[in-house]
Structures are given as structure tokens and as C-alpha cells.
Amino acid sequence: MGARTADDDRLDEAFTALADPVRRALVARLSRGPQTVNDLAEPFEISKQAVSRHIQVLENAGLVTRTRDAQRRPVHLNPDRLEQLTVWIDKYRIIHEQQFRKLDKLLAE
């Protein structure tokens, strides 16, 4: 196993952020478009402050961003960051698919 890189740390941070079911639900809601903290907090039985803390974790992991729109501070999903995670996952999925194809071929012989 090689030396850890900053990219490894960012991956860890993103996957750790997504390990929480509330944060995964927030990401799912944001996949439909930007929303305010009040909008995001609506379906949860936790305080707006708790939702804000979850959003901060997602923001620190690079999964969401916030902008200012007059008095509103909408939260946006960061599709580029999600794409980076998908690329990482796909790399290993492809390796395993290739291994299964080789095994299938061997078993068929």
C-alpha cells in the first residue's frame, strides 16, 4: 500500500460525510435543485441548527456549496465532487467485473 495523498484524505472526508443517513437524505433532496436550510430541514425531526451542522459537514467534504441570493443562502449540490466519487467507485467496479469475466471464462472451459 502506497503513501496516502491529499486525494485519499478528500475521499475519506466525502465518504465519511455520506456515511450519515441524514446527510445522504440531504444530498438526495439537493439532487432536485438548490434549497435553503429551512427547506432542507422541513422533513426532518431535528432542529434547523442540526441540519446546518450536517450541511457544514457536507460543505467541508466539498459535496455542497452555498451561495448568497439577497437574503437567502441556498445550498447547492456540487456535481463535480460527486463525479469524482463516481469515478473512484467505477475504477474498482470495472476491475472486479473483469475478474468475474475471467472467472466465468475459466469455469466455462
- Written as one string, the DSSP assignment of 75-107 is EEE-HHHHHHHHHHHHHHHHHHHHHHHHHHHHH
pLDDT for 53: 97
Q: What's residue 1's pLDDT?
A: 56
Q: pLDDT above 70 covers what percent of the chain?
A: 96
Q: Which residue has the cell 441570493?
A: 69
- CATH number, span 6-78: 1.10.10.10
How many Å apart are CA 109 and CA 98, to the nearest integer?
17
pLDDT beneath 50: ranges in the chain: none
**pLDDT per position as a tens digit, 22-44:** 999 999 999 999 999 999 999 99
Whole-angstrom Cα distance, residue 66 to residue 16? Answer: 20
What's the confidence (pLDDT) of residue 26?
A: 97
Domain spans of the chain?
6-78
